[in-house]
Amino acid sequence: MSFVREAVRKMEGYIPGEQPQEEGYIKLNTNENPYPPSPRVVERLIEFLSHSSLALYPQPLSDRVREKIEKIYGFPREWVMVGNGSDELLNLVFRVFAGKGDVVAYPFPTYTLYRTLALLQEATPWEILFPDDFSLPGEFVTARANLKILCNPNSPTGTYVPLGEVENLLRRSSCPVLVDEAYVDFAPESALPLLSRFPNLLVARTLSKSFSLAGLRIGFLFAHPEVLREILKAKDSYNVSTLSQIGAEMALEEIEYAMKNVAKIKSTRSWVIREMEKMGFYVYPSQANFVLVRRGGQDLRFLYEELKRRKILVRYFPEWPEYLRITIGTDAQMEILLHSMREIIEGVA
Ligand SMILES: Cc1ncc(COP(=O)(O)O)c(C=O)c1O
């Protein structure tokens, strides 16, 4: 494969979580929402398909979605870009801000896609370990880099850095700082209010988690209009399908429906954390729709495998064998999970 760029040949591809095609799994491995989206989203899609044609291209800049965003988040359309999931927007940010030999810094462990995107650019990922309390590493705050990424709340830990620390990071950084807020609706505060004061801030959001629309592929990038103008140069002309735009518009109109599901998930999260602690797990303090657990230094592959055999999927990362990341599902799903975990652990003991 000598005709493939060396940088690509040498790197590992990003490995997404399993998406089983078989029915019947309790799926707690990729942080999807266990509740369906507002029924009005589905109704709107069906209505659209029965009256309109897919023969035409979609709006290039998802104008009507941006109008809804303006109403909800208060940012005029020049401050927002809509993407095919926030992964597309992360991709664009790396392409625009990180070239060959540049340095991309981020606290680690985190979403490993950042490493993949940096390596594709032939940029150097600078992975700075979080301290034990998961506050921002000082070295990250003062790092000289071409791009800084902060996943907040962070995956896979679920931990959250308060806004004051994010503000300090922005004050100390002259490069662009992307805050990936895929899970922020499950956390106390967003960095969006800092946007008007810091032109180097970019904030990525998604409808995949809190709005139960991972299958629709919709993400938003908020940034200063001059910054977005540059990023738009790298965007596909028709990056968001007509159906995704129609669904996103209705989902935003139904934001209260989504926020009720968020409240339910947060309350399930508190109960699940307590139950797991009773079983002897250490549960990282989570402000997301998942928890990261460990049990001393035990390799948890056995638990992942036995749960999978029982058709419960959680996330096991071979590079971090002492941890499992578990999405918060419905109360009924979590009852089954907790019961199975108890049985498996007692069986092993
Ligand atoms: C931290 C983080 N950022 C971004 C994404 C991608 O989300 P989207 O579905 O919007 O592409 C994920 C998905 O799991 C994620 O965990």
Q: Is residue 308 part of a domain?
A: yes
Task: For residue range 253-312, list pLDDT tens digits in order.
Answer: 999 999 999 999 999 999 999 999 999 999 999 999 999 999 999 999 999 999 999 999
Q: Which atom of ligand 1 is nearest to the CA of 206?
A: 10
Task: For residue range 128-169, list pLDDT tens digits in order.
Answer: 999 999 999 999 999 999 999 999 999 999 999 999 999 999
Cis status, amide bond into 153, omega within 30 of 0: yes
CA of 180 to the centre of ligand 1 (A): 8
Q: Is residue 1 part of a domain?
A: no
Q: Which residues contact 178 (CB under 8 A, 6 or more apart)?
A: 90, 93, 147, 148, 149, 150, 202, 203, 204
Q: Is residue 17 part of a domain?
A: yes
Q: What is the DSSP string of 147-210?
A: EEEEESS-TTT-----HHHHHHHHHH--S-EEEE-TTGGGSS--SGGGTTT-TTEEEEEESSST
Same domain, 182 and 231: yes
Residue 281: domain span: 6-36+256-348
Tell which one of 33, 93, 110, 111 to mutate to probe ligand 1, the residue whose CB is within 8 A of the most ligand atoms: 111
Is the CB–ligand 1 distance for residue 207 below 6 Å? no
Q: Is residue 78 part of a domain?
A: yes
Q: Is residue 80 part of a domain?
A: yes
Domain's final residue, options 254, 288, 309: 254
Flag whether pLDDT at 66 surpasses 90. yes
Same domain, 18 and 47: no
The CATH number assigned to the domain holding 249 equals 3.40.640.10
Confidence at residue 18, expressed as pLDDT on a 0 to 100 scale: 86
Q: Is residue 120 part of a domain?
A: yes
Is the CB–ligand 1 distance for residue 242 below 6 Å? no
Same domain, 45 and 162: yes
Res. 17 pLDDT band, cuts 50 70 90 = confident
Same domain, 228 and 170: yes
Q: Is residue 297 part of a domain?
A: yes
3-class DSSP state for residue 248? Answer: helix
Same domain, 268 and 230: no
The CATH number assigned to the domain holding 271 equals 3.90.1150.10
Is the CB–ligand 1 distance for residue 190 below 6 Å? no
Is the CB–ligand 1 distance for residue 240 below 6 Å? no
Confidence at residue 15, expressed as pLDDT on a 0 to 100 scale: 86
CA of 291 to the centre of ligand 1 (A): 16
Q: Which residues contact 221 (CB under 8 A, 6 or more apart)?
A: 80, 81, 83, 86, 89, 92, 93, 202, 203, 204, 205, 228, 231
Res. 54 pLDDT band, cuts 50 70 90 = very high
Task: Tell me 40's DSSP state.
Answer: H
Q: What is the rounded average pLDDT of the residues 336-345? A: 96
Percent of the chain at pLDDT above 70?
Answer: 100
Q: What distance in Å separates the CA atoms of residue 159 and residue 143, rounded to the nearest whole number?
A: 21
Q: Which atom of ligand 1 is nearest to the CA of 155?
A: 1
Flag whether pLDDT at 22 surpasses 90. no
Domain's final residue, options 207, 238, 254: 254
Is the CB–ligand 1 distance for residue 85 below 6 Å? yes
Same domain, 189 and 293: no
Same domain, 128 and 159: yes
Same domain, 58 and 131: yes
Same domain, 160 and 239: yes
Domain's final residue, options 197, 221, 254: 254
CA torsion sign for 132, 138, 144, 146 is positive
Same domain, 261 and 250: no
Task: For residue range 114-129, list pLDDT tens digits in order.
Answer: 999 999 999 999 999 9
Angle at CA of residue 180, ends 206 and 162, nearest 5° = 120
Task: For residue range 187-206, list pLDDT tens digits in order.
Answer: 999 999 999 999 999 999 99
Same domain, 247 and 263: no
Average pLDDT, the chain: 96
Same domain, 287 and 239: no
Q: Which residues of 118-153 are buried (b: 16+ CB within 10 A; e: fewer)?
A: bbbbbbbbbbbebeeebebbeebbebebbbbbbbbb
> If we measure between CA atoms, which residue out of 162, 197, 198 comes closest to residue 177?
198
Confidence at residue 349, expressed as pLDDT on a 0 to 100 scale: 67
Instruction: Enter the pTM of the model.
Output: 0.96
Domain count, the chain: 2
User: CB of 208 within 8 A of CB of 88?
Assistant: no
Q: Is residue 298 part of a domain?
A: yes
